[in-house]
Amino acid sequence: MEIESGHHGQAGRAGALSIQDSSVSSWRAVVGNSNGISLLTRRPSSDAVLQETWPNIHNGHEVKHVDIDHSGVRFATCAKDGVVNVGSLDSGRVLFSAPDPLRNGIANSVRFIPSANDEALLVASSHGRIRRVRLEGSESLFLHGHGSEHVLRAVPMSADICASCSTDRTARINDARDPAGEGGGVVFKHPGWVYDVAVGANDSLVVSACRDSCAYLWDCRRPAEPLQVLGGFRLSVTCCDISENGRVIVAGSVDNSIRVWSDEGELLHHNIPSTIRTGGVSSVSLSRDRQLLLVTGFNGGYTFFDLAKEQRDRARMVTNAKRLPVVITDVVTPFLW
């Protein structure tokens, strides 16, 4: 069920969502666009979504990826100017800036590292590198698990381990304690470029978004074959997410649609968001309690879905169906709903 939708005025790249009180009536979201970021806020006292746009975060350069820390008070961004910033969600003021964290590379994604108390960032680059950047500015180790190919996303799993994906048609587990960045040989092979990756279920499950129009669910302990191939899209899958308990998986596609599955591969939801009917879905972001889903589009549209209400409505429909009277036909055994 769509509960909020709109446009933030510019082409959207990625969105991040934070719900501090586990309520669909109160949340914050940040969406990157072609010249800055937009903060979207909904408070319990208001039915409207408040929107603030901060165009000078990267001096007018296109923001490629955003994240929100676990406390819900800071955002992190990376842009085509090669700079990584951390700022306040309350004021929009930049608190920390790394002018060239990848040494002449362009950052494709940035994430806070929760196990480092959100005082470090994980940055993936266009030069095949993944770097951990500490907010006090200390140097950290480069990882080279994808060779010279573009690393499109990197997601922290611990202070030393991360999952990543690349144009080399793989998703990988990388270990900063291994200078070669091979990650203990944990490689998830795909038939096409891998645009996005997410981890869940205590970091034992990985979901990936592939150019071949499918999302894939993997068990980190058995990487040879995927647990589930999640299809149904007509075009490339550009983004994905998985709940922290691993029970809900979501993906979006260039065909403008999103799909939500259970970890057993059951399709729970399929929708083309009302504000994203052209350009494709650029990001999907689940709240930690799995109640809310933020979807952004390359056309600048965004939509929020109340997944918890959909699940309640789904359960109510099943219950009502079971209460329907049994119709006796010529068949001796009645058909039971």
Tell me the per-residue pLDDT of 55-76, one tens digit each, with 9 for 90 and over: 888 887 888 899 999 888 999 9
- What pLDDT, on a 0 to 100 scale, did the predictor assign at position 317? 45
- What pLDDT, on a 0 to 100 scale, did the predictor assign at position 81? 82
What phi and psi, each to the nearest 5 degrees, are found at residue 318?
A: -65, -45
State which residues of the chain have pLDDT below 50: 11, 22, 181-183, 317-337
Residue written as token pair 């959207």 = 12
* Beta carbons of 127 and 105 less than 8 angstroms apart: yes
* Beta carbons of 42 and 26 less than 8 angstroms apart: yes
Burial tier of 194 (Cβ tally within 10 Å: 0-12, 13-18, 19+): buried
- What pLDDT, on a 0 to 100 scale, did the predictor assign at position 330? 32
> In Å, how far from its chain's centre is CA 83?
21
- What pLDDT, on a 0 to 100 scale, did the predictor assign at position 222? 93
Distance separating alpha carbons of residues 110 and 68, to the nearest angstrom = 10
- What pLDDT, on a 0 to 100 scale, did the predictor assign at position 204? 92
- What pLDDT, on a 0 to 100 scale, did the predictor assign at position 58? 87
Distance separating alpha carbons of residues 154 and 139, to the nearest angstrom = 18
Q: 95-131 burial string, b = 16+ CB within 10 Å, else e?
A: ebebeebbeebbbbbbbbbeebebebbbbbbbbbbbb
Q: How far is CA 286 from CA 21, 34, 51, 222, 295, in A?
A: 15, 23, 20, 25, 9
The predicted model scores a pTM of 0.86
Fold of 2-322: Methylamine Dehydrogenase; Chain H (2.130.10)
CA gyration radius, the chain: 20
Residues pairing with 258 in the sheet: 252, 271
Distance separating alpha carbons of residues 334 and 337, to the nearest angstrom = 10
Q: Is the dihedral of CA 299, 252, 161, 144 positive or negative?
A: negative
Domain ranges of the chain: 2-322
* Beta carbons of 247 and 241 less than 8 angstroms apart: no
